[in-house]
Amino acid sequence: MIRLAFPALAIRAVTFGETEIHRLERRMDKLACVEVVGEPEPVPFHVEVEAVWASDVPEKTFDKWALLRTTHPLVRSLVIVLQPGERQGDPRGSFEVFSEGAPLLTFRFALIRAWDLSVSEILGTGEPGLIPLVPFAKDATRERTEVAQRVLLDEHRERTNLHLVYSVFADWIFPDEDWEARIPEEIRMESAVFRRIREIGAADVLSGQLRRRLGKSKKTEALLARLKTCDAKTADKLSRLILQTKSKPELYAAVDRLLKKA
């Protein structure tokens, strides 16, 4: 049958593999079921947020979409990228597979590149959930980032977790400012995220973030064991490294250097 379908292939031998497909476990960022006017059923959207673009993002998005489609046949995928990657090529909303030079598969997904947006465009939507994208906008400045934070504080004080997200993102782009200090204490006390950080401790939070970035290994665990003795100042520097360092080797080396100094 294979020779009949692919006459150009010079086949030497055939062996047979496992015919049962075991579902792979994948963790997605969000699965949103959206009620759309004119649609009888909610439309599922698979959403991924990428801090920095990487060349494997399209393939990972396809893998998750393919697994989701077994239970949500009409699911659509959306990827939001905060920053372009170094030497990773231009971000694209498609994944393609070729065989013998011919296209075998083309998968397309929606792609939002934060650096293509303007500050006025983000604020003009009226959506508070988009305001944390302001620091990454193409025309973002320290002054415009301050204005957007005031908009968030003045008009959306009840969105307590958004204030934390905004301070982290703003600190990523403009690290010389203490963005978290601008958030009133009463808002920080109401935030579930802030409370959780206080409950489990900075070292545990950092350990979880580093394990996710570096992967599980004896080398990683040895590094994480050294976090238990770090002070608040070192923990703050580590949190910035996790956000700002792009590759795993660079992150490991930077954390190792910082802990040695501490």
In contact, 211 and 252? CB cutoff 8 Å: no
pLDDT at 105: 93
> Which tens digits make up the pLDDT trace of 99-108?
878 889 999 9
Positive or negative CA dihedral for 146, 152, 158, 160?
Answer: negative
> Which tens digits make up the pLDDT trace of 209-262?
788 788 878 888 888 888 776 766 777 778 777 767 668 888 888 888 888 877
Domains in the chain: boundaries: 23-114, 117-196, 201-261
d(CA 133, CA 131): 5
Question: Distance from CA of residue 170 to its chain's centroid?
Answer: 16
The bridge status of strand 110-113 relative to strand 102-108 is: unpaired
Q: Is the confidence at residue 178, as pLDDT, over 80?
A: yes
d(CA 192, CA 173): 24
> Which tens digits make up the pLDDT trace of 146-170?
999 999 999 998 888 899 889 888 9
| C-alpha angle 140-144-146 in degrees, rounded to nearest 5 | 125
> Which tens digits make up the pLDDT trace of 3-53?
777 777 788 888 877 666 566 666 788 889 888 888 888 889 999 999 889
In contact, 20 and 51? CB cutoff 8 Å: no
pLDDT at 197: 56
**What CA dihedral angle connects 210, 212, 217 and 223, to 10 degrees?**
10
